[in-house]
Amino acid sequence: MTDAEEHIQAARRLYNHKVESLNSTIDTFPGNLVNQLAKRERAAFYEAESQQRNNPHINW
């Protein structure tokens, strides 16, 4: 169970890192010119809702 949680956390960190990189590219020159033409928008970071942050109850 702990191993799965660690993999999920790692995937969230990787996703948020990629979103940060994409948003930086969209915001800085010359990427901002290209992205305006392509009509790309900033991506949202992953943030778990309060219900999702609680440990799940698993029936074995």
Helix axes 2-27, 31-38, angle to 10 degrees: 100
28-55 pLDDT per residue, tens: 999 889 988 998 899 999 987 766 666 6
pLDDT at 27: 92
Average of per-residue pLDDT across 18-37: 92
| pTM of the entire predicted model | 0.70
Question: What was the pLDDT predicted at 31?
Answer: 86
Q: How far apart are CA 36 and CA 14, in angstroms?
A: 25
Report the distance separating Cα 52 and Cα 5, nearest Å.
12
Alpha helix (H) residue ranges in 1-60: 2-27, 31-38, 50-53
